[in-house]
Amino acid sequence: MKVFQIGFPKCGTTSIAKFFSINGIPSISWKRKQDSIFYSNLKAGIHPFKGLEDYTVFTDSEFVRNEFSLLDHLYPNSKFIYNVRPLKKWLNSRLNGRYAGGVHPIEALGNKTYREYYSISSNDQFLQLCKYEWFYHKSRIERYFSGNNASKLLIFDIEKDPAKKIVDFLPEFKFTHLKFPKENVSR
């Protein structure tokens, strides 16, 4: 079984990866590294996860976040964690974090930054784009994970929910460390 984290960066992606890692569950985090593998594999006409078969949990990936329906098709027994936090705090973090303001290149955008790709010239425009992406992504998730697919999704609020919520969602795994880590925290 594979587990895919499908929430946005700055919503506890590093903490989620660390939680699985300290519990001995093979996970990969760092979106640019794994996204490069996914896109290279797709361009070559091979399975997007070739070379990543040993991993169980995938976090902080633009590809995984956007292609959850494809991943559900490729891995029918998979489960998905939609990690969230209050929108206002997420927007502030997007503007002030390490990769703040949409200024780092993204492979899915042809290695352009958000600001280049969308011709954004101000922080207000950047935040409007982020808000749009947040609500669009949320609506896609709500539509896809309704009905028969509802049991495959965990909505995990990194500021409110205890680690036990993940443990209960994934009884297939043995968790021995139940304290949820706080990694790479920004405001």
Tens of pLDDT along 19-28? 999 999 999 8
Q: How far apart are CA 61 and CA 69, in angstroms?
A: 14
In this structure, what are the phi and psi dihedrals at residue 18, rounded to the nearest 5 degrees?
-65, -40
Confidence at 116, pLDDT banded by 50, 70, 90: confident
DSSP, residue by residue, 10-77:
TSSHHHHHHHHHHTT--EEE-HHHHHHHHHHHHHTTS-TTTT-TT-SEEES-HHHHH-HHHHHHHSTT
Q: How far apart are CA 177 and CA 185, in angstroms?
A: 20
- Token readout for 56 is 């169980």
pTM strictly above 0.85: yes
